[in-house]
Amino acid sequence: MEWITLKELLEKDIAHGGKLVAAFGKPGSGKTGLLLGIANRLRSYEICIFRGLQTGQEFRFPSDVKILAYQCNPKFYDGRGDPIDVGVKHVNNFNDVLMQAELDKLNVLYMPFENERRYWVEFARFLVHRLPFVYPSAYVSLFVDEVEDIVPFQEPGATREMKQFVAQMKEFRKCLTSMYCATQQYFDLDYRALGKFQYRIYLQGARVPMRERFSQELVDGLSLGQGVMTGSFFGKFVFGDYPTKKIVVVR
Ligand SMILES: Nc1ncnc2c1ncn2[C@@H]1O[C@H](COP(=O)(O)OP(=O)(O)OP(=O)(O)O)[C@@H](O)[C@H]1O
Ligand SMILES: [Mg+2]
């Protein structure tokens, strides 16, 4: 098994467009850190938008963060419940999300926590239909940690919203939109969504589906900070640590 870098995964050009990437791994395998690390490498060239979670993972990011709240009012607290003062830019439409987003920063997008999936469907639709060259960068990269909230595994009667999201995902590549997602196991995701990821990354504790061209043993042998990448290229890679500096709770 060859050691590779993620360079090819991160390179973009108009002809090849956006990239859809899913990372899998058990709790504590470094999924969130991996996403933050990818964003850190892309932030100068692409509008990087990180999904705001109730656990404030963006506070692990080593560089500047800009918090955008779309039609919601997130409040930030420390581990004892004391409010912390975090600058939040409120935006009411998706055009403003991209207008307010800044290159070089991690732009963290909070949507209403209730019915959040609905807002992601609308945002995805907006991204597919946007004019690419009117924003700070034509390329947009979405970082959707805990993506099972958006496209959960379900038996046949998948919700209409989820199907709509998957339909937009299909268009992302041609619209210079990339999506880097993470969840624990491939079977936590809707199979239609799963099929859209051109690149898959397996970290510690991930189960390898039958259709992959390598065995479970390969992933079982990984240490923290190592992963297996598969897609148009294939190999083992290492990634860095983005440790939690402080506990933040968002409500
Ligand atoms: N490359 C690495 N090298 C060393 N330690 C790491 C590395 N990546 C992550 N860690 C450490 O492992 C722990 C878990 O990392 P992280 O939160 O990124 O994992 P996760 O897969 O997102 O976990 P969860 O499923 O709980 O969200 C953290 O304490 C982090 O500092
Ligand atoms: Mg995580």
Residue closest by Cα to atom 26 of ligand 1: 27
- Residue 16 has what pLDDT? 86
Q: With a 6 A CB cut-off, is 180 part of the ligand 1 pocket?
A: no
- Residue 145 has what pLDDT? 98
Q: With a 6 A CB cut-off, is 196 part of the ligand 1 pocket?
A: no
Q: Which option is the CATH number for 7-250: 3.40.50.360, 2.120.10.30, 1.10.760.10, 3.40.50.300?
A: 3.40.50.300
- Residue 216 has what pLDDT? 98
Q: Which residues of the chain carry a pLDDT beneath 50?
A: none
β 140-144/76-78 pair status: unpaired
Residue among 6, 31, 180 whose CB has most ligand 1 atoms within 8 A, to mutate: 31
Q: How many CB atoms lie within 10 A of CB 4?
A: 16
